[in-house]
Amino acid sequence: MDRKSFLKTSLAGAAALAAASTGLLACTSQAPAGKKNDTRLHLSFQEGTAPGETLEEKLDFMEELGIEGFEPGGGSLASRVNEISQALSGRNIRVSAICAGFDGFILAREASVKASFDSTMRQIVRAAGELGSTGVIMVPAFNWQDEVGLPHTMETRDYLCEQLHSLGEFALSCGTTVILEPLNRREAFYLRLVSDAAAICRDADSAGVRCMGDFWHMQEETSDYAAFISAKDYLQHVHIASRGRRIMPGEDGEKDNYVEGFRALKEIGYPNFVSFECGCEGERASTVRAAVSLLREQWEQA
């Protein structure tokens, strides 16, 4: 390239850059400070969260608190489709995500373990579709599965994306998705960051492969805000717990700050659920009520 064409290219580049930055300014100025964001907080409970002996009692408690989602475990879900549909009929609560429950794992080295994952996961995905669930949560490999799983190589990641593609397409055909959950390093080195899970979703290249963030495991992240922003449209579910001991939000006092994460969820217009996955130290009914109030306050602040 001679100097003349170099200058021409650079000038065109500079003009494009100037146009782009004007565009950027225009975009950011579309949301003036103080403008009310109307993205709503949709809370969900796992089956053990609400007090009550029976599913009906738990759902009554949830409905009274305005909880909109119910996250059952995936184990024996297929045999519970009627029970759950009937229990939710006529209520303002729907199934949110389904929490795992399959046998085996997707990166198993042994063919029989992988086959067991494939059949049980697909059975849960089918039931999840019948229940109108947002997706079935899965972890590619826990630390304890490393020695019986595929090595962490580039080939393994390619294989994971291929396998997820076909699983995602199957989930879509059932009207639902599969949701990758990053955990913390003590549980799963393989997948620890929300942005990495989102990149796997992109590379799996199926709208049926989505990811989530769990405020407990997100101790791995340097920023709750950046983590959710990086996942954006791939973000299908969120788990929440207190941030010191994984009990009810608020039971760890000052540590239980979700405002930055919530701000990101509001900015991306996150349409899905924030679901309780946690223990409880105090008296359950009052502790759960206090946790729900705390989250609603922090959502307002965000």
Query: Which of 114, 192, 237, 239 forms a contact with Mg ion (CB under 5 A)?
Result: 239
What contacts 100, CB < 8 A, 6 or more positions away? 73, 74, 136, 137, 138, 139
Closest CA to 58 of 88, 82, 81, 80: 88
Q: Pick between residue 150 and residue 191 the one whose CB is nearest to Mg ion.
A: 191
Q: Pick between residue 214 and residue 256 the one whose CB is nearest to Mg ion.
A: 214
**Separation between Cα atoms, residue 277 and residue 215, nearest integer Å:** 10
Strand partners, 149: 108
**DSSP state for residue 137 in the 8-state scheme:** E
Q: Which stretch binds Mg ion (CB under 5 A): 10-18, 60-68, 109-117, 239-247?
A: 239-247
Q: Which stretch binds Mg ion (CB under 5 A): 172-180, 197-205, 232-240, 288-296?
A: 232-240
Q: Pick between residue 224 and residue 277 the one whose CB is nearest to Mg ion.
A: 277
The dihedral built from the CA positions of residue 159, 165, 170 and 174, taken in this order, carries a sign that is: positive
Which residue type does 50 have?
A: A
Q: Shortest approach of Mg ion to residue 301 CB, angstroms? A: 24
**Separation between Cα atoms, residue 302 and residue 292, nearest integer Å:** 15
Q: Pick between residue 214 and residue 221 the one whose CB is nearest to Mg ion.
A: 214
Say which residue the tokens 């850059």 belong to.
17
**Separation between Cα atoms, residue 88 and residue 174, nearest integer Å:** 20
Q: Pick between residue 71 and residue 118 the one whose CB is nearest to Mg ion.
A: 71
Say which residue the tokens 């080195």 belong to.
189
242, 253 contact by CB (below 8 A): no
71: contact with Mg ion by CB under 5 A: no
Which residue type does 294 have?
A: L
Closest CA to 298 of 244, 245, 235, 249: 249
**Separation between Cα atoms, residue 205 and residue 116, nearest integer Å:** 24
Size of site (CB under 5 A) for Mg ion: 3
Q: Tell which positions 241-280 bind Mg ion, by CB under 5 A.
A: 277
**Separation between Cα atoms, residue 87 and residue 140, nearest integer Å:** 32
Tokens of 239: 């788990």
Q: Tell which positions 178-217 bind Mg ion, by CB under 5 A.
A: 214
The site for Mg ion (CB under 5 A) is made up of 214, 239, 277
